[in-house]
Chains A and B, each alone.
Chain A
Amino acid sequence: MGFFDSLKAKVQAVAQKVGDTLSFDRLKEGLAKTRSAVFGRLASLVRGRTLDDALLAELEEALLLADVGVRTTDRILEGLRQRWRRSNTDDPDAVLDAIKAEIAERLLAVGERSSQKGELPKPYVVMIVGVNGVGKTTTVGKLAYNFQREGKRVIIGAADTFRAAANEQLATWAARAGVEIVQQQRGADPAAVAYDTLNAAIARGMDVCLIDTAGRLHTKGGLMQELEKISRVLKKLVPDAPHDVWLVLDATTGQNAIVQAREFAKVAPLSGLIVTKLDGTAKGGVVLAIAEEFQLPVRYIGVGERIDDLHPFDAIAFVEALFAEQPSVPQSVE
């Protein structure tokens, strides 16, 4: 059993645990979806080759194309070189194994350090934050559905009181998921909505309280402070709330996601990431840098617009998808 396989076994054990809190069938299905194009090309490209400069250059390009970023790519390749020097095997898939392991280990290290809270508090309060249009509201709908299907009683709060029709959008998701919702009119104080929601959650004996927030660019000081206020207000009712604050990242986003994570972490106690839109051709490789630099594990991935298109994060599947085939760039039209 290669190193990568043993890692995989380890991950599957963790995934089982997470799977207990979510529907495991859908997870497998979802992975098939992310994995669809997967590994074939790289595997055949790399098989039987030794780790020379030419191969390193090809691997570098694959990582850069997946938005991993220059710095993290350099670090991964350096790790790979060392791993390679230490190893001595004639397994033709050794390089492939080594690079996958190099990346997956980084992700798993973060995941393990900060995961598993044991029993969830009641109500379990989660705030969803992120820049505009990344998929926060959709994700709240999907999360609500997941928890609801596990038999938990869920309430969601529409703390985006700014965006046109944000209320209607979230109400639709609440209805789809079959959960309760608290909202106020457009323009109301988002912190007040959050407070009301948690209040209702406590009064009605809810298990889970999800707060959707408005999209905001991390460069807007005023809006960022508003987030601080929301988590402050929640504490008035439940001192250790919010129990989780998840930053939603769009997989198509490039290096700016690093700045997003840094800035959001300053105003809210981020505890994890959710990467959306992984059903597209974008790979979301920038989360490697973010996970490591800010010690933020990826909790879930979004792989579509349907209510059941949210899955617990699987580091191995993610790594494999990083190297999935990408159409090559045609000649310039000029």
Chain B
Amino acid sequence: MFESLQARLEEAIKRLRGQARITEDNIADALAEVRRALLDADVHVEVVRRFIEDVKAKAIGTEVKGKVLPEQLIVKIIYDELVSIMGTTKSELIHAPAPPTVIMVVGLQGSGKTTFAAKLAALLRKKGQQPLLVAADVYRPAAIEQLKTLASSINVPVFSMDGADPVNIAEESLHYAKKFARTHVIVDTAGRLAIDDTMMREVESIRERIKPQEVLFVCDAMIGQDAVTTARTFDERVGVTGVVLSKLDGDARGGAALSIRLIVGKPIKFVSTGEKLEALETFHPDRIASRILGMGDIVSFVERAQQEFDEAKAAELEEKIRKREFTFEDFLEQLRMLRKMGSIRELLGMLPGMDKALRNVEIDDRAFTKIEAMILSMTPQERRNPRIINGSRRLRIARGSGTTIQDVNRLLKQFEEMQKLMRAVTTGKVKLRNLPAMMGTPWKRS
């Protein structure tokens, strides 16, 4: 259902092919696809509208030049726009001039507040700080017990008071923290709906009493259109200083991150990626941008590829393929370039659609070594003209490379298929995203 944006764009963008310039008219279909993709990723309707307008304004008039395909160009414009909206990577906590630094954790029911509070305490402890966790959720059954269990696994004390109300508990916890020289106070509050006025008043009061440096809004990455309404209300009432995106270890596209960032304007300070207490990460705008677009990391792929591939060589290669002169020598060169660019899995993972495909695939880097050895055992003549490789030559190559004759046969067969495919690519019959299929051997389905 969620095909990559790039793949969808390819269809929509046919009208752009051969055009010199992007115009309002020829970009319309593509933008409609972008809109769908963003909505599928749960970006807020209104945010999508504004975003599309921005992208349109930026794209119109842009020249389509060189080897860059129009869809790549548009993806790049969108991606850059997304990253720039997502803003800085900065995820540092605001610290109090004198300890303790007070942090309040708020959000909807079940969003991951208590888990996050414990994770943050664990992180601070690892950095040599002395955090205190405060159990200010007196409503949810066993909420205090939950916090205590988590805290004891990381050796962090918990402040709680039987029968007291959350405002008092929070206030008292500050005295306790000062007395016992705690550097940070992390207040875990109960989950609440933004429209629950009584409960919202409660967090307002807590805030007024304890004057936290940070009010972190924990937001489930799976949240839909309601993200905006909720985040905005929390911000209006308690003054959110940062957002924590939780449950990012799933496959939700996390469009809420964009909506909240754009509408509420607050930085995302952490991402929570699991139930275990180590699973806390800093926020990377570029990663979430790719995720929202559902496209693997096509942009870094393009960028890295551009860095590594010598332009002139690439042009030469293209020419060769067109003339059907692609040889084992070229193949070897390609293989080595691929290697230089990083591990194969990492590289393929950056291709659109490959993330999923790779999930059940075991990539064997050694297979590449084998291929390299076989090619090196060929004579220059053989490399240039594989057709002359008969039975006895095959045997020689196998022996020379420490492989079997079956290995050599397979390589030759695949090379032939690859040549065919490459031709298809250059004539536009096959899309780049099918490229991995032509590389047959090096991995196997598990």
- B252 contacts chain A at the CB level, 8 A cutoff: yes
Is the Cβ of B146 less than 8 Å from the Cβ of A250?
no
Which one of A3-11, A85-93, A237-245, A276-284 is at the interface?
A276-284
Chain B positions within 8 Å of A67 at CB level: 42, 224-226
B2, chain A: closest CB distance, angstroms: 8
Tell me, yes or no, whether B369 is within 8 Å of chain A by CB.
no
Cβ < 8 Å to A, chain B residues 29-77? 36, 39-42, 44-47, 50
CB contact between A329 and one of B263, B265, B275 (< 8 Å): that residue:
B263
| Complex alpha-carbon distance, A253 and B111, angstroms | 11
Q: Judge whether A254 and B195 touch: CB under 8 Å.
A: no
Q: Determine whether the beta carbon of A65 is less than 8 Å from that of B45.
A: yes
Do A330 and B41 touch (CB < 8 A)?
Answer: no
In the assembled complex, the Cα of A132 lies from the Cα of B110 at a distance in Å of: 8
A167 to chain B, nearest CB (A): 8
Q: B47, B147, B250, B255: which contacts A254 (Cβ < 8 A)?
A: B255
The 0/1 profile, CB within 8 Å of A marked 1, for residues 122-152 of chain B is 0000000000000000011111011111100
Residues in chain B near residue A169, CB distance under 8 A: 140-142, 145-146
* Closest Cβ–Cβ distance, residue A254 to chain B (whole Å): 3
**Contact mask for chain B residues 89-108; partner A; CB cutoff 8 A; 1 contact, 0 none:** 00000000000000000001
A-B pair count, CB < 8 Å, reads 151
A8 CB, min distance to chain B CBs, angstroms: 27
A133-B224 in contact (CB<8A): no
B109 contacts the other chain (Cβ, under 8 Å)? yes
Q: Does A45 contact B (CB under 8 A)?
A: no
Known contacts A219-B249, A256-B251, A256-B252; A281/B229 CB under 8 A: yes
Q: Does the CB pair B108–A255 fall under 8 Å?
A: no
A187 to chain B, nearest CB (A): 12
Q: Is the interface of A mostly helix, strand, loop or mixed?
A: loop
Whether the Cβ atoms of B251 and A329 lie closer than 8 Å is no
In the complex the two chains form, what is the Cα distance from A185 to B125 in whole Å? 28
Nearest A residue to B118, CB-CB? A164
B184: CB under 8 A from chain A? no
Which of B226, B228, B256 has the most CB atoms of chain A within a 10 A radius of its CB? B226
Inside 8 A of A162's CB, which chain B residues have their CB? Answer: 275
Chain B residues lying within 8 Å of A132, measured Cβ to Cβ, are 110, 112, 247, 275
| Chain B hits for A256, CB < 8 A | 42, 222, 250-253
Q: Which residue of A lies closest to B42 (CB)?
A: A254
Encode A58-87 as 1/0 by CB contact (under 8 A) with B. 000100111101110000000000000000
Query: Contacts A172-B142, A258-B1, A305-B109 given: A253-B224 contact, CB under 8 Å?
Result: yes
Residues in B neighbouring A253, C-beta threshold 8 A: 220, 222-224
Q: Please state if B222 and A254 are interface contacts (CB–CB under 8 Å).
A: yes
Note all chain A residues with C-beta closer than 8 A to B253.
Answer: 255-256
A327 at the interface (CB under 8 A from B): yes
Residues of B contacting A135 in the complex (Cβ-Cβ under 8 angstroms): 109-110
A139 to B: closest C-beta gap in Å: 12
- Known contacts A64-B225, A69-B40, A281-B194; decide if A168 and B142 are in contact (CB<8 Å): yes
B264 to A, closest residue via Cβ: A333
Contact of A255 among B50, B224, B250 (CB under 8 A): B224
State whether the Cβ of B302 lies closer than 8 Å to any Cβ in chain A: no
A306-334 toward B: CB 8 Å interface, digit per residue (1/0)?
00000000000000000000111110111
Would you call B193 an interface residue if the criterion is a C-beta within 8 Å of the partner chain's C-beta atoms?
yes
Name the A residues within 8 Å of B139 (CB-CB). Answer: 305
B262 contacts partner chain A, Cβ-Cβ < 8 Å: yes
Q: Tell whether, in the assembled complex, residue A219 and residue B250 are in contact, meaning their CB atoms are under 8 Å apart.
A: yes
0/1 string, B242-267, CB within 8 A of A gives 1: 00000101111101100000111100
The closest CB in chain B to the CB of A221 belongs to: B359
**Is A218 on the interface with B (CB-CB < 8 A)?**
yes
Contact B224 A254 (CB under 8 A): yes
Using Cβ atoms and an 8 Å threshold, which residues of chain A touch B264? 333
A188 CB, nearest partner CB in chain B, Å: 15
| Interface residue from A131, A168, A254, A280 paired with B225 (Cβ < 8 Å) | A254
Determine the distance from Cα of A284 to Cα of B262 in the docked complex, in whole angstroms.
Answer: 23
A332 and B149 contact, CB distance less than 8 A: no
Which of A64, A131, A165, A259 is close to B149, meaning CB atoms less than 8 Å apart?
A: A165
For the complex of A and B, list the 6 residue pairs with the smallest distance between their C-beta atoms, beginning with the closest: A254-B224, A133-B110, A254-B42, A172-B141, A168-B142, A165-B146
A selection of 30 A-B contacts at a CB cut-off of 8 Å is: A64-B225, A65-B45, A67-B42, A70-B39, A133-B110, A133-B111, A163-B146, A164-B147, A165-B142, A166-B142, A169-B142, A172-B142, A252-B227, A252-B230, A254-B42, A254-B225, A255-B224, A279-B193, A280-B194, A280-B195, A281-B193, A281-B195, A305-B109, A305-B139, A305-B140, A329-B47, A330-B232, A330-B263, A332-B263, A333-B265
The residues of B with any CB-CB pair to A shorter than 8 Å are 1, 36, 39-42, 44-47, 50, 108-112, 139-143, 145-150, 193-195, 220, 222-230, 232, 247, 249-253, 255-256, 262-265, 275
Q: List 16 additional A-B contacts (Cβ < 8 Å) besides A254-B252, A282-B225.
A: A67-B226, A69-B40, A135-B109, A164-B150, A169-B145, A219-B251, A254-B42, A254-B223, A254-B256, A255-B41, A277-B109, A280-B226, A281-B226, A281-B229, A305-B109, A329-B232
